[in-house]
Structure 1
Amino acid sequence: MRSSHRAPFVAAVATAATLALTGCGAGTSGGNASPGAVANPSGSASAVSAPGTAAPATSSPEPTSPTTAASEPPSSAPAPAGLATYTFPDGHVSFKHPVDWRVELFSVGGSPFVGTATVYDAAGTKQATVYSGQIADGVTSPVTRTVFESVPVPGLRGQPAPAAQYSFYVDRVNEIATYRMHLTAGAPIPGAEMALDGIIRTAQGVLVAEVHFIEKPFASDEAAKSWLAGAEGQALRALLLSLSYS
């Protein structure tokens, strides 16, 4: 139930967020990268610009997942599998993922670094993207929101406000539901609100991280909650909560 969704009410306007620029470099973790452009890492579009190319980063296996009060899964969730750590080539952004998943990096530039890490599960299904760069733009529109969960991200504390949160929620427009699991700048507000662009400010740029769903991933909100409590939902929850910037 993963792959990028496009909400009918979000109009993304950007040029370089696809990272389909001349001289793009590709790196992989846990698999070989396939060349080509990468779609916008968020539900909103991003524009990026930076010179040069960056070297690929690697994932380092770890025996277990770290446990914090902010990232403990519900009691019904299975025990986490072994994790690997992926770090962007510039050394600033890192996150953890299951050891049998892989990461492909499409990058533009070395300093300042601009790139998108696409995360695939063991079956080769695209699960999430993490973008680190200098510019990201988004367009918002009115929605009615139901929030399932929103938790501060420990590794992004100390970055410019509003503080980064891992959030899972559904936005509705004319009874059309759009489910989103991603980083948000502050906690999403239930009820009537505007769509969120998911742009997190960092010391040297911006960060966008989002799980990718099919167009209609869940039959109901209860089905979404049930998925969150399962192995896949908890793995993606843990990935977003593990994001850090140094």
Structure 2
Amino acid sequence: MKGTIMRPAFRVPVVTALAAAAALSLAGCGAMVSAAPSSSSPAASATASGSPSPSASVGGGAGAGGAATPGTSPLPAPAAADVKTYTFPNGHVSFKYPADWKVELFTGAGSPSDSATATVLDASGTKQATVYSGRIADGVSHPVSRTVFESAPVPGLVAQPAPAAHYAFYVDRMESNATYRMHLAAGAPKSGQGTALDGIIRAGDGVIVADVQFVEKPFANDAAAKSWLAGTEGQALKALLLSISYSPTAP
């Protein structure tokens, strides 16, 4: 099954009411109201989907390549490719994605401008990532041992309240279980002993949550994860997260 790995946790409400969990049922509840991209752009923020690799799987496949360099300093953007820009109905949050992928929008019980999840699917129709923009969200917390592969500040979110939004790719280990995550993290993740990251980014009077949708046990080991990251699919998803931006004034 596709989707993020369920993480046992102690609930930690943030931002608004305890109704958070229902509102942040990413792509799971609410009606699908749109499946259309908003505009084309040649910007150097994403790459096209890659070919499958036998050693790793995210969504529909994985590219091959060398290992990524760990660190928290700004990273160079992936190579230029045809991309499109998706903008949420609220006009504040947008991101770029490969031109041959598509976006489907799901909304909560209220207005689309209040709570919405954009599900990004690759050319084969496989779910690759979700981006949530809304008023409420909740987080989780449990002890882990973390190995960070990459992280970097997200340029389009640097003006938002601390902790600063970071693109992050890492693995959390708890007992014998390894959880690989690529998502927006609140602050720069650090290797070593710590707690799970909630990934809730404050933006204006709402929040943003963005996650790559891994299958369960997507990589055989850390070397396979780094190889996938260096490939075309890993770079496309990295570029998508780094391209997320917030504008205080809607067009």
Q: Deviations over 1:82-131 (max 9, x none)?
A: 00000001110000000000000012333752100000000101000000
Q: Which of 35, 59, 63 is matched with 1:28 structurally?
A: 35
**Greater relative contact order (Cα 8 A, min sep 6): structure 1 or 2?**
2
Shift of 1:20: 2.7
Q: Residue 24 of structure 2 corresponds to which residue in structure 1?
A: 17
Q: Residue 72 of structure 1 corresponds to which residue in structure 2?
A: 76
Q: Residue 90 of structure 2 corresponds to which residue in structure 1?
A: 90
Q: Deviations over 1:64-99 (max 9, x none)?
A: 4259x94525xxx7x442000000011100000000
Paired letter, 1:28: A
Using the alignment, how far apart are the partners of 1:66 and 1:211 within structure 2? 16
Using the alignment, how far apart are the partners of 1:191 and 1:165 within structure 2? 18
Q: Residue 207 of structure 2 corresponds to which residue in structure 1?
A: 206
Q: Residue 133 of structure 2 corresponds to which residue in structure 1?
A: 132
Structure-to-structure mapping, 1:47-126, within 5 angstroms:
58-66=37-45, 70-73=74-77, 79-108=79-108, 109-110=110-111, 113-126=114-127
Work out whether 1:231 is the aligned partner of 2:238.
no
Identity of aligned residues (%): 59
Report which stretch shifted further, 105-114 or 175-184. Answer: 105-114
Structure-to-structure mapping, 1:135-146, within 5 angstroms:
135-146=136-147
Give ranges in structure 2 of 5+ residues lacking alignment.
12-19, 47-72
Give ranges in structure 1 of 5+ residues lacking alignment.
30-57
Q: Residue 188 of structure 1 corresponds to which residue in structure 2?
A: 189
TM-score by length of 1: 0.79
Q: What SS class does the counterpart of residue 15 from structure 1 fall into? A: helix
TM-score by length of 2: 0.78
